[in-house]
Amino acid sequence: MATVQFRIGNQTAKTAQPLLRPYEFALEKGFDAFEWVSDGRNHGWHELQMGDADRRRLRQTSLDRNLTFSVHAPYTASPFTADGLAEILESIEFGGAVGATVVNVHLLAERGAEAFVAALTPVLKHARAQGVKVSLENTPQTAPEDFNAVFARLARMPEVAGGRVGMCLDMGHANLCPSSRNDYLGFVDRLGTHVPIIHWHAHENFGDRDSHLPLFTGPSAQDDAGVRGLVWRLVQRGFRGNVVLEQWPQPPEQLVQSRERLRWLIAQMGGTV
């Protein structure tokens, strides 16, 4: 049997009521991935809402249901600050406890690749100890060249041996990047082959704002060539990881429709789900 390359799922959302409804939906609809998005103790879900018993139960459910977890550290959490680093480490602790494969952190390029990698070192060490990988996500401000520079430096670190760190490709953010506006495929094409893509945040926009439209409801509603091209590129790069549908639409069944069409497209492009 071919190895599954694309595990498709959804994530928590602070707009959901109750907050755990997206997780329950994932179980009901047979998704094979789910992402816990920490809102940093503000108005949504965060790790401290889950005690030890809850974490053990989640870990067992993931095993029983073949559901792969990932964790998204708070988007405001920066490894450059003590508070931000503590939040990221808290996400890693949770990820290790529930058996998550990946903890996602935004790549911050403002101080340069060298400074970011230095700040990330305790994150990578803790992730290795907890048995989780770290994925670095592109924000709308980060360019492919930022990832090329960061991963060139990461390649020299023992903490990342064995594929312990990779990129989270956020296609919507790539579509907003000033140097690849409305061209997320061009963004991917500028990534060096030394940048492993291990996680995919899937949502669309029209290049105007980070609107997080479900797949096949934005530009690809009329022409899915962009999504097809992205899947083909990921297959060619040997992608194996989670595809996270970053929405909580109304009705949420839109996520099932997006998943089924994406599954069909992946199969057409030679991938496995």
Q: Mean pLDDT for the chain?
A: 95
Percentage of the chain exceeding pLDDT 90:
93
Nearest partner of 88 among 107, 111, 109, judged by Cα: 107
pLDDT of 196 higher than 60: yes
pLDDT of 155 higher than 60: yes
- The stretch 58-87 carries a mean pLDDT of 97
Q: Which pLDDT score, from 0 to 100, does residue 2 have?
A: 55
Using alpha carbons only, give the angle 103, 108, 110 rounded to the nearest 5 degrees: 175
Nearest-angstrom CA–CA distance, 259 and 266: 10
And the tokens for 176? 């907003």
Residue 256's contacts (CB-CB under 8 Å, 6 or more residues apart) are: 29
Q: Which pLDDT score, from 0 to 100, does residue 219 have?
A: 97
Please check whether residue 57 is in contact with residue 33, taking contact to mean a CB–CB distance below 8 angstroms: no
Percentage of the chain exceeding pLDDT 70:
98
> Which helix (H) or strand (E) covers residue 243, if one does?
strand 241-245
DSSP string computed for 3-66: PP-EEEEEE--TTSSSTTHHHHHHHHTT-SEEEEE--TTSSS--GGGS-HHHHHHHHHHHHHTT
| Strand pairing category for 33-37 and 6-11 | parallel
Q: Which pLDDT score, from 0 to 100, does residue 22 have?
A: 98
The tally of CA atoms less than 13 A away on the side-chain side of residue 70 is 29
DSSP string computed for 163-216: T-EEEEEEHHHHHHSGGGTT-HHHHHHTS-TTS-EEEEEE-B--SSS---BPTT
| Strand pairing category for 6-11 and 102-106 | unpaired
Backbone angles phi, psi at 142, to 5 degrees: -90, 135
For 119-144, what is each residue's pLDDT tens digit? 999 999 999 999 999 999 999 999 99
pLDDT of 158 higher than 50: yes
Nearest-angstrom CA–CA distance, 144 and 153: 15
Higher pLDDT: 191 or 42? It is 191
Q: Which pLDDT score, from 0 to 100, does residue 162 have?
A: 75
Higher pLDDT: 44 or 42? It is 44
Nearest-angstrom CA–CA distance, 181 and 167: 20
Fill in the DSSP letter of residue 139: P
pLDDT of 1 higher than 70: no
